[in-house]
Amino acid sequence: MSDRANSQLLMEERPGSGIALLRLNRPDVLNALNLQLRHDLAAAFTRLDADPQVRAIVLAGGERAFCAGADLNEYVDATPPEIIARQMDRLWSAISDCRKPVIAAVRGHALGGGCELAMHADIIIAGEGARFGQPEVKIGIMPGGGATQRLTRAVGKFAAMKILLVGDPFDASAALAMGLASDVVSDSEVEVRALHLAAQLAALPAMSVQFIKESVVQGMNLPLNQGLQFERKSFQLLFSTADKTEGIRARIEKRPPRFGAYEH
């Protein structure tokens, strides 16, 4: 991903900040996801997850589109065996399994696979002009990147059913109202806001941030009692960290904390 002119995914790491910015770079097709871009995303998230210098990841697109969905040129003549062979589940899992907090900075279209990509993030910052939706039903298919599950968990059955079955797009204010977006700002402020939030996360104790993310994600797939048990064990383990002692002492002493580096 070093050739910026030809790369479909640009990576910008900011030394000393703890932040990595990933940018989809297929503007001519509104950042549609082809197989190469999917592989690039999986590889990038795998590498950033393993990098102890990276504390938070921002995923962005362009002004016109975060991601307009799958590249239909790769779907029109595809057969079930060909789709199975692409192992899309493994490519999506590289993103969903990332232990670092991920912020989606959404401007413009986030449709189909693009909406699903945004839902793989932990926080979604949307521009006022953003458009979300799952229009797959209108072309004779259905979501395959998690929307029937993630969208339903995010907004509830009845809102999700309307979005998935009708396929019409909706704007950022509707996304915020139903709980799909974390915040809505002007289009020009989307990435500024996302990077500022990433900087806040990067300055916090990395293990605390990781454990909170894990507890939320795991808890969504567990009965309440098991989710509470997972949270309790994670809470207890944090008492072995130096950042816990420093954070509490700093609060008692009324001074800013000096959190240390986190190593995997």
pLDDT in tens, 44-78: 999 999 999 999 999 999 999 999 999 999 999 99
Does 232 fall in a domain?
A: yes
Domain match, 17 and 112 both: yes
Q: Is residue 262 part of a domain?
A: no
Alpha helices by DSSP H, 62-205? 80-85, 88-96, 113-119, 147-155, 157-166, 172-178, 190-202
From the CB of residue 157, how many other CB atoms can be counted at a distance below 10 Å?
Answer: 10
- 133 catalytic per annotation: no
212: left (phi over 0), alpha (psi -120 to 50) or beta: alpha
Residue 159 and residue 84 share a domain: yes
Residue with token string 């239909």: 72
Clarify whether residues 196 and 224 are in a common domain.
no
For the stretch 174-210, pLDDT in tens is 999 999 999 999 999 999 999 999 999 999 999 999 9
Which residues lie closer than 8 Å to 99 by C-beta, 6 or more apart?
49, 210, 213, 214
CA separation for the pair 170, 133 (Å, rounded): 6
Q: Which two tokens stand for residue 246?
A: 């420093």
- Of 9, 8, 13, 1, nearest to 195 by C-alpha is 13
Tokens of 79: 């057969």
Quote the tokens at residue 239: 């008492």
Q: Which of 18, 61, 108, 113 is catalytic?
A: 113
Per-residue pLDDT, 16: 86
* pLDDT recorded at residue 5: 56
* CA atoms lying within 13 Å on the CB side of residue 258: 2
> Are 126 and 219 found together in one domain?
no
Task: Say whether 136 is catalytic.
Answer: yes
Instruction: Indicate whether 225 and 94 sit together in one domain.
Output: no
Report pLDDT for 262.
Answer: 44
Residue 175 counted as domain residue: yes
Q: Is the pTM of this model over 0.85?
A: yes
Pairing of strands 123-127, 183-185: parallel
Q: Which of 56, 112, 116, 175 is catalytic?
A: 116
**Active-site residue, 116 included:** yes
Q: What pLDDT, on the 0 to 100 scale, is given for residue 226?
A: 96
Domain of residue 234: give its range.
206-252
Query: Which residues does the chain have with pLDDT short of 50?
Result: 1-2, 262-264
pLDDT at 3: 52
Q: Sign of the CA dihedral 87, 90, 91, 96?
A: positive
Query: Considering its fold, how many domains does the chain have in total?
Result: 2
Contact present, 125 and 172 (Cβ < 8 Å):
no
Rounded Cα distance, 53 and 68, in Å:
31
Q: Pairing between strand 109-111 and 65-67?
A: parallel
Of 24, 33, 37, 64, give the one whose Cα is nearest residue 136: 33
263 in a domain, yes or no? no
Q: What is the CATH number of the domain that holds 101?
A: 3.90.226.10
Q: 199 vs 90, 129, 211, 263, CA distance in Å?
A: 29, 24, 18, 18
- Strand 56-60, strand 19-24: pairing: parallel
Residue 192 domain flag: yes
Q: Which of 56, 70, 104, 130 is catalytic?
A: 70
Of 60, 136, 145, 202, the catalytic one is 136
With H, G, I as helix, E, B as strand and everything else as coil, classify residue 216. Answer: helix
